[in-house]
Amino acid sequence: MLDLITPQAILPHLKAGNKKQALQELARKASELTGQPERTIFDVLLDRERLGTTGVGHGIAIPHGKLSSLDRVHGVFARLERPIDFDAIDEQPVDLVFLLLAPDQSGADHLKALARVSRLLRDQSMCEKLRGAQSGDAIFALLTTQQEATPAA
């Protein structure tokens, strides 16, 4: 996970009233981290949501998209202050969001990153720990140290 996320890419108390606001805040943070225009990132995320929700169930969403100007896969993790409707497949509100942005030409790297994040967030005890973490540093530590101990499924 260290190749996907940095301590600066953690939003431990994201305030958002709905899916669109959450995506806007994630796009803002991703713009700071990648130097890409916030609006471009937001549009890519909205386009992806129009294809089908990235709310994967159990309070988790993994919005993702591709940008031609990126040099590698970037991640941003947010824990929402209050769960929001994300049109999730199980119709449950979402409070944990892991954004992934990949270069257009990333191909398998993008899919591998999605699979890693999905596998990590399918672990219910991990999600409980993420929900209970008190700080961005604690969330970063959970995301980056647990991964090494999680066997590939």
Which residues carry out catalysis?
Answer: 64
> How far is residue 142's CA from residue 113's CA, in Å, rounded to a whole number?
17
Residue in this structure with the two tokens 């796009």, named with its chain if needed: 27
What is the end-to-end Cα distance of the chain in Å, rounded?
A: 16
> What residues contact 24, with CB distance under 8 A and at least 6 apart?
16, 42
The single-letter code of the amino acid at 36 is Q
DSSP state of 52: S
CA 57 to chain centre: 14
